[in-house]
Amino acid sequence: MQHLLVEIKARTAKADQIRTFLEKNKTYFKGVDYQTDTYFKVNKGRLKLREGNIENHLIQYYRPNQAEAKTSEVLLYKSNPESTLKQILTNALGELVVVKKKREIYFIDNVKFHIDEVDQLGSFAEIEAIGNKGEHLEEDLRAQCLHYQQLLGIRTEDLVEVSYSDMLLANE
């Protein structure tokens, strides 16, 4: 299924405050996921295989690099952690970079919140307003994202323009 997603990513030193807000505001806590995202070399967009104890997907997406709410078009394929999919993709495309993180996952309706501790990069918070393409307006998703950015006290100057994969590649 294709999803429309508006998201922000920010560096944070306030993970405890964000967690407390989420716990007090009737969120659904999905759990703590230890994720490995393997990015593959592709000609257009991004392609990653997410392997975790909660989420396991092949994810293909297009997203601009900008330090504000960003819109992505995302295709998800539920993968089986026992499959040979990673080896097939590695053999065919080659690995670009691997991102390892501990992710806390929360939901309020269609809005997903992450508190991430990313190896070699530090602490981050993400807000993703998720819609089904054709069913949700981008403006509404953007408004949700910005609403929670304000409620969580995420400052504009803490917003991150690029993905974790880009940050790791820049550090190499």
pLDDT tier for residue 33 given thresholds of 50, 70 and 90: very high
The region of weakest confidence among 68-77, 82-91, 139-148, 157-166 is: 68-77
The total of structural domains in the chain comes to: 1
Q: What domain range is 130 assigned to?
A: 2-171
Tell me the pTM. Answer: 0.92
Give yes or no for residue 118 having a pLDDT over 90: yes
CATH of the domain at 18: 2.40.320.10
Contacts 24+ apart (CB under 8 A), 164-172: 164/37, 164/99, 164/101, 164/116, 164/118, 164/121, 164/124, 165/37, 165/39, 165/46, 165/48, 165/96, 165/97, 165/99, 166/65, 167/121, 168/97, 168/99, 168/120, 168/121, 169/96, 169/97, 171/120
